[in-house]
Structure 1
Amino acid sequence: MRGRSGWAAVAARTGLARPSTYQYFRSRTDLLDAVIVDLLLRWSTYVTQRMRRASTPGDRVLAYVAVGEARARSLARGLLEPYLRQPTG
């Protein structure tokens, strides 16, 4: 997707015509909100799965911590950085 940004990139990534993307997201803010909701749901599922594998309460805490701040930061940065560099509109 190099060289493409904004709605053109969204349309290309989803296989939709650019005008069709507006049927799903009225603005970049709406798109960003949807990305964040999806990210949080996936993150929550991942953390819950890791914690369920632990056998004691202490191990569950350690599993939660092991998932880690670094992983969350990396995911958020990778998903959100391109949108944060775009002008709003």
Structure 2
Amino acid sequence: MASLWTTLSKMTVTEGTALLQKTVTTTMNPATLPARYTTWYKNYKTQYVDTNSLQPLIHVSIGVFCISYLTSWRAEYRHMKHAQDHGH
């Protein structure tokens, strides 16, 4: 992970854009997505569901928390700014 950050920090904006475009087009190819999802799901099921682990519940809980936080952040930030501006 550190090498990734080192590599990215040495890139220019145009190099970073080209790398991002290449990465997105190769990983988000519509022809390969169903096969990649199927492989991911089989591995996830084998690792967590078949072993009766609590990890899937934890993953869903974290996902719901992140989505609800991101969707409500704008309103909360607006309320916070209003309170700061008006001395509440």
**TM (normalized to structure 1)?**
0.35
* Bigger Rg, which one: 2
Structure possessing the higher relative contact order (Cα contacts under 8 Å, 6 or more residues apart): 1
